[in-house]
């Protein structure tokens, strides 16, 4: 390690003015080292090169002014609503600032009469008070030292994200001091690439992003459109993509003679077991998978396919290829219901084939025997939940690991399963279509197959939004379907398993439905808190058509396959992500009958939540919906849970910066292809960054 790295890796306390207390607070912002501080970028900028006067302010503009406190007090504003008002003045007039949620004590103390402040926000005109007003402005105290330092005025000034106990000024000061260490930053992007993509130097880019030059276009900075920001974003993506490229290279190592035997006759034998002919998309994907399994390097493939597109039979076909090659197969699913369902459909298809299939969940009995059979190789295919990755489970020879609904598992769980074999083929399946940009980041090391076609004979799904006032019409649709011999789902989506309120809603409504709206019909209830045997029972009765309406929380989101169910009513639909709704909806429309998806909304027309649901009315294409969902909610929330595998970017945004992402990916993969061990001197910085910071993340082990 050179001195160069040491300096930027110093704890942030190394910066003048940052003591242990502040260092603790910086940690909350993700800033631990001087280098982190350099990459803690402003969220916006204010042009403080010249302040306007109050008289010059125009209504509607976003203004920055320097003013003095005349008075500050809490007051009533009719209908019992409290408001805090500060009157600020300069030589030309008065500007009032309002707060509507506040602690009067804190604000009174903050805005002492005579105090000087920089106030910014959108100017409006309050006709009752007869003055220009800013509601909930940003405010920054002017203190005597400020002028000399000249950090806080006289130019375009950065405004940083803060955390409790850190003032704008102390962050600004610290970040400014950190610029001294700029030259200690190593640029991981080789010179040739910087030239090709016309990227400015790293040091200049960091400096300018903190402190734009005089006359810079701060709007462009605010929108992350400057060359300097492009450089920083490129670097961030490039590092990750290089890591993914390395990981992929490593996974794709060839072991001569290790390929499985996959020939036409095996494939056609497998197809004969299936009760239907494969769709074109399934055929294509099966070809891709069998080519992988026949090759001398382990498969690592992501299989994407909308709900109901028929991934299970593809997984099963892959499993049979492995079994016929005398290898074992593990299929891991996130819930007991899903695992059980896979197990059932697999044993159904494999009757009389001599293939031995076992189900392993935490609730399984006779575990010892199951473990023994897996270890001895007597069991060929194990289907299960997390129970499969317990230490006690050892395989004789695991040749294929299949992970269903991968996004529900963490990176380490995926690794543990793969670790149960020696370089097994891996097939990762997801029914949540993943937008391309997200897939590139999350699964950028995998090959991707897509089933983009539904099996034939699927009826249309009519999706309609209902307001509560129109609830009876929705109930009527459900009743009509049941009179026609069909079945229904009523879903209370659960935000998380501990969401008691929703749970209660499902149970309470079950009683009400039974006695009122759906009196005389056969109702069943299932939710996440039920014992799995009870859940199984309810689902079993639904599949056997002993129940007309299944009321449930989102436990049915994945897995249930009952083609006779043609209507799904989703309560509080506007609270949930589009991808999740799409998943739910995929439980109907599985037969030739027309199906209905009724979205019960609390929001009314014109409300953003309502507009969001309109996307569901318009589209049945999972990829389109996923893209819209990602746009609306951002990548962190995309899966509804914090995605454990998604890197946190300091400046890059995969949606906004998708072009840069593609460029960085292309460049990174090409570079790793040319220099797979990063042994060239011009790649030393990249190599160091990857080994020091990213080894674990990318499971890289030793590079080279």
The residues that touch ligand ADP, with contacts defined as CB under 6 A, are 276, 278-279, 282, 305, 307-313, 431, 455, 561
Q: Which is nearer to ligand ADP, 360 or 558 (CB)?
A: 558
Token pair recorded at residue 95: 């500007």
Q: How far is the CB of 316 from ligand ADP (least distance, A)?
A: 9
Q: How far is the CB of 313 from ligand ADP (least distance, A)?
A: 5
| Smallest distance from ligand ADP to CB 558, Å | 8
Contacts with 507 (C-beta within 8 Å, 6 or more apart), sequence order: 525, 527
Q: Smallest distance from the beta carbon of 449 to ligand ADP, in angstroms?
A: 12
Nearer to ligand ADP, 209 or 282 (CB): 282
381-384 vs 357-360, strand pairing mode: parallel
Going by DSSP bridges, is the β-strand pair 487-492/549-553 parallel, antiparallel, or unpaired? Answer: parallel
Q: What is the rounded radius of gyration, in angstroms, for the C-alpha atoms of the chain? A: 30
Q: Measure the CA–CA gap between 16 and 19, rounded to whole angstroms.
A: 8
**Cβ neighbours around 677 below 10 Å, total:** 13
532-543 and 336-349 helices, crossing angle to 10°: 50
629: Cα separation from own chain's centroid: 10
What is the DSSP track for 461-477?
EEEEEEEGGGHHHHHHH
State in angstroms the smallest separation of the CB of 530 from ligand ADP.
Answer: 23
CB 307, min distance to ligand ADP, A? 4
Residue 376: exposure state from Cβ atoms within 10 A (0-12, 13-18, ≥19): exposed
Cα(487)–Cα(535) distance, rounded to whole angstroms?
A: 18
Tokens in use for 305? 């396919």
Determine the residue with CB nearest ligand ADP.
310
To the nearest whole angstrom, how small is the minimum distance from the Cβ of residue 267 to ligand ADP?
15
Rounded to a whole number of angstroms, the minimum distance from the CB of residue 440 to ligand ADP is 22
- Classify strands 300-305 and 425-430 as parallel, antiparallel or unpaired: parallel
Smallest separation, CB 624 to ligand ADP (Å): 18
Cα gap 15→181, rounded to integer Å: 10
Interatomic CA distance for residues 657 and 671, integer angstroms: 21
- Nearer to ligand ADP among residue 361 and residue 432 (C-beta): 432
Given the complex with ligand ADP, which of 18 and 383 has the nearer CB atom?
Answer: 383
Residue 655 is encoded by which pair of tokens?
A: 């949606």
Alpha-carbon distances, residue 603 vs 331, 392, 600, 637 (angstroms)? 41, 50, 9, 21
| DSSP state at residue 486 | -
| Nearest distance, CB of residue 343 and ligand ADP, angstroms | 13
The CB-of-44 to ligand ADP minimum distance in angstroms stands at 44
Measured from the CB atom, the residue of 178 and 278 that comes closer to ligand ADP is: 278
Shortest spacing between CB 282 and ligand ADP, in angstroms: 6
Q: Could you give the CA distance from residue 65 to residue 95 in angstroms, rounded to a whole number?
A: 10
Nearer to ligand ADP among residue 176 and residue 458 (C-beta):
458
Element (H, E) at 403: strand 398-404
Pick the closer one to ligand ADP by CB: 322 or 431. 431
In whole angstroms, the minimum distance from the beta carbon of 469 to ligand ADP comes to 35
The answer to whether the CB of 591 falls within 8 A of the CB of 561 is no
Adjacent-strand bridge partners of 261: none
**Residue 7 or 536: which CB sits closer to ligand ADP?**
536
Q: Which H/E stretch holds residue 64?
A: strand 62-76
Check if the beta carbon of residue 140 is closer than 8 Å to that of residue 158.
no
Please, which residue, 311 or 414, has the CB nearer to ligand ADP?
311
- Minimum CB distance to ligand ADP, residue 482 (Å): 22
User: What are the two backbone dihedrals, phi and then psi, of residue 217, each rounded to the nearest 5 degrees?
Assistant: -85, 95
Q: Which is nearer to ligand ADP, 278 or 672 (CB)?
A: 278
For ligand ADP, the closer of residues 311 and 585 by Cβ is: 311
Nearest to ligand ADP of 308, 334 (CB atom): 308
Report the DSSP beta bridge partners of residue 134.
97, 123
325's CB contacts (< 8 A; 6+ apart) are: 260, 261, 399
Is 289 within 8 Å of 301 (Cβ atoms)?
yes
How far apart, in whole angstroms, are the C-alpha atoms of residue 398 and residue 156?
61
**Three-class SS of residue 273?**
helix
**Nearer Cβ to ligand ADP, position 118 or 313?**
313
Residue 313 vs 382, nearer CB to ligand ADP: 313
Query: In the complex with ligand ADP, which residue's Cβ is closer, 311 or 425?
Result: 311
Phi-psi category of residue 634: left, alpha or beta, with phi > 0 → left and psi -120 to 50 → alpha: left
What DSSP state is assigned to residue 407? G
Cα-based distances in Å from 110 to 64, 86, 107, 125, 131: 19, 11, 5, 24, 22
Q: How far is the CB of 590 from ligand ADP (least distance, A)?
A: 6
């Amino acid at each position: 390690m050179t001195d160069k790295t040491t300096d930027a890796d110093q704890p942030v306390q190394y910066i003048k003015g940052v003591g242990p207390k502040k260092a603790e607070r910086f940690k909350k912002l993700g800033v631990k080292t001087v280098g982190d501080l350099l990459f803690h970028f402003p969220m916006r900028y204010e042009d403080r090169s010249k302040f306007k006067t109050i008289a010059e302010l125009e209504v509607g503009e976003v203004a920055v002014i320097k003013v003095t406190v005349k008075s500050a007090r809490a007051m009533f504003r009719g209908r019992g609503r409290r408001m805090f008002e500060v009157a600020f003045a300069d030589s030309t007039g008065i500007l009032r600032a309002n707060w509507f949620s506040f602690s009067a004590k804190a604000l009174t103390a903050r805005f002492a009469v005579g105090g000087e402040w920089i106030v910014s926000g959108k100017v409006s005109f309050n006709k009752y008070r007869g003055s220009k007003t800013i509601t909930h402005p940003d405010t920054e105290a002017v203190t005597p030292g400020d002028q000399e330092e000249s950090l806080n005025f006289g130019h375009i000034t950065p405004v940083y994200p803060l955390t409790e106990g850190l003032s704008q000024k102390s962050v600004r000061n610290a970040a400014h001091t950190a610029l001294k260490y700029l030259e200690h930053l190593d640029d991981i992007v080789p010179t040739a690439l910087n030239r090709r993509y016309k990227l400015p130097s790293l040091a200049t880019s960091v400096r300018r992003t903190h402190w734009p030059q005089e006359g810079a276009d701060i709007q462009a900075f605010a929108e992350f459109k400057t060359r300097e920001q492009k450089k920083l974003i490129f670097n961030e993506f490039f590092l990750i993509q290089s890591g993914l490229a390395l990981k992929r290279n490593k996974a794709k190592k060839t072991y001569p003679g290790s390929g499985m035997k996959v020939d036409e006759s095996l494939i056609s034998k497998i197809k004969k077991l299936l009760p239907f002919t494969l769709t074109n998309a399934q055929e294509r994907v099966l070809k891709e998978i069998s080519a992988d399994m026949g090759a001398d390097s382990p498969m690592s493939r992501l299989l994407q396919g909308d709900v109901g597109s028929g991934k299970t039979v593809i997984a099963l076909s892959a499993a049979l290829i492995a079994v016929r090659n005398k290898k074992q197969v593990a299929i891991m699913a996130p819930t007991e219901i899903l695992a059980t369902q896979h197990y059932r459909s697999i044993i159904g298809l494999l009757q009389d084939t001599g293939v031995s299939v076992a189900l392993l969940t935490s609730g399984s009995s006779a575990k010892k025997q199951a473990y023994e059979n897996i270890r001895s190789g007597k069991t060929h295919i194990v289907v299960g939940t997390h129970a499969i990755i317990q230490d006690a489970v050892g395989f004789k020879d695991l040749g294929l690991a299949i992970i269903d609904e991968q996004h529900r598992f963490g990176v380490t769980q995926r690794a543990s399963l793969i670790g149960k074999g020696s370089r097994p083929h891996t097939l990762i399946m997801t029914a949540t279509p993943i937008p391309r940009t997200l897939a590139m980041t999350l699964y950028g090391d995998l090959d991707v197959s897509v089933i983009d076609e539904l099996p034939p004979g699927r009826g249309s799904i009519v999706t309609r939004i209902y307001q509560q006032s129109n609830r009876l019409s929705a109930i009527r649709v459900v009743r009509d379907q049941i009179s026609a011999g069909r079945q229904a789902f009523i879903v209370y989506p659960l935000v998380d398993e501990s969401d008691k309120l929703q749970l209660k809603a499902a149970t309470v409504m079950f009683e009400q439905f039974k006695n009122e709206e759906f009196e005389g019909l056969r109702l069943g209830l299932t939710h996440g808190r039920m014992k799995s045997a009870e859940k199984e029972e309810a689902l079993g009765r639904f599949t056997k058509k002993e129940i007309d309406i299944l009321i449930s929380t989102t436990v049915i989101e994945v897995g249930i396959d009952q083609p006779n169910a043609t209507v799904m009513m989703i309560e509080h639909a506007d609270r949930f992500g589009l991808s999740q709704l799409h998943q739910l909806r995929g439980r109907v429309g599985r037969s030739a009958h027309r199906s209905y998806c009724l979205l019960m909304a609390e929001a009314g027309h014109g409300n953003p939540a309502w507009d969001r649901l309109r996307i569901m009315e318009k589209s049945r294409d999972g990829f389109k919906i996923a893209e819209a969902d990602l746009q609306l909610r951002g990548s962190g929330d995309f899966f509804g849970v914090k995605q454990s595998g998604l890197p946190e970017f300091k400046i890059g945004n995969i949606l906004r910066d998708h072009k840069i992402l593609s460029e960085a990916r292309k460049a990174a993969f090409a570079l790793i292809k040319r220099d797979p061990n990063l042994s060239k001197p011009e790649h030393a910085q990249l190599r160091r960054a990857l080994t020091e910071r990213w080894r674990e993340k990318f499971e890289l082990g030793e590079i080279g």
